[in-house]
Amino acid sequence: MALYRKHRPQTFDAVHGNEDLIHSLSNMLASDEIPHAFLFTGPTGCGKTTLGRIVAKEIGAKGNDYREVDSAQFNGVATVREIRNQAQFRPQEGKARVWLLDEVHMLGRGGNSSKNEAQNALLKALEDPPDHVYYILCTTDPQQLLPTIKGRCQHFQVQALSEKVMVKL
């Protein structure tokens, strides 16, 4: 089994490093002011997707109410339209519906150009989500996102583990 799978944290308490970020996320999720769009950025392998999964659990997404989309593979406007169509429905198992879009900078063609149909469709989804819907965007290349998408998200910069923390582990 791959080391990163064996040791993937399932809760904030199990996460090593990024203490300030974990503290901010925990406080935010404990309040009534939870944003409907999160943007996790950082280098490859720093834990963006793992943190996104933990946030989804903390928000209350369970089973089929949580969807993870690999934007490198499913990167067209049709994918975003399907998400927008599904977002209308209430959660079935939990108290929220969450979509995690991994490598979201790969969505569409043309990077952060206003002609990027897929990112423009995502922007529309982020502008006015239903109360029960949350989006978690993860990327190693946030410069490729439309500035208006970044502006609609609560941004969290995830740092790679320091050598000191890795040695400790």
Both tokens of 35, joined, read 């944003």
Q: Could you read off the pLDDT of 2-38 as tens digits, one per residue?
A: 556 667 899 999 998 899 999 999 999 999 789 999 9
Query: Is 132 in contact with 89 (CB distance < 8 Å)?
Result: no
Burial (CB count <10 Å: 0-12, 13-18, 19+), residue 57: middle
Q: Could you read off the pLDDT of 48-67 as tens digits, one per residue?
A: 999 999 999 999 999 999 99
Q: How many CB atoms neighbour CB 109 within 10 A?
A: 14
